[in-house]
Amino acid sequence: MKTEFPSKSEITRNWFVLDASEAALGRVASKAAKILMGKHKPTYVPFLDTGDHVIVVNADKAILTGNKESQKLYRRHSGYPGGLREDVAGKVRAARPVRLVEEAIKGMLPKTKLGKQMYRKLKVYAGDNHPHAAQQPKALAAAK
């Protein structure tokens, strides 16, 4: 018996809207990563990008449980010696709330060229408006 794999023309891409308001950040991120990878489809194969597009709205209202708001660190490096910068989650949320959701989802995707390709299908917005109405995205409920 021969295993069938979907060709590029057979892969259909849908658009989904995920509302992050009053939902735990990790639960929103895991649901979005699953859809970006295509694990919710029967045509999923680990070496092809069969996933859909995901729009996350209300990223500024995602909840961090426990003391993560004051203890969770976000690190970035400028590339120069001594260029490591660390910020707590509360400061990152105040400056750029979209970054919390983007980094959580990016961390759940494969760390390969395929993962970067999947990450490009993610759109995150701090408010509840997005410019993708023409794609007719379907609403998804985030696990609370």
Domains of the chain: 12-64+96-140 (3.90.1180.10)
Q: What is the pLDDT of residue 64?
A: 95
Q: What is the pLDDT of residue 144?
A: 66
Low-confidence ranges of the chain (pLDDT < 50): none
Please state the pTM of the whole predicted model.
0.92
Other CB atoms closer than 10 Å to residue 10's CB: what's the count? 10
Which segments within the chain are labelled E, that is strand?
A: 15-19, 53-57, 73-77, 84-88, 122-124, 138-140
Q: What is the pLDDT of residue 70?
A: 96
Q: Is 50 exposed, middle or buried (0-12, 13-18, 19+ CB in 10 A)?
A: buried
C-alpha 75/C-alpha 44 separation (Å) is 33
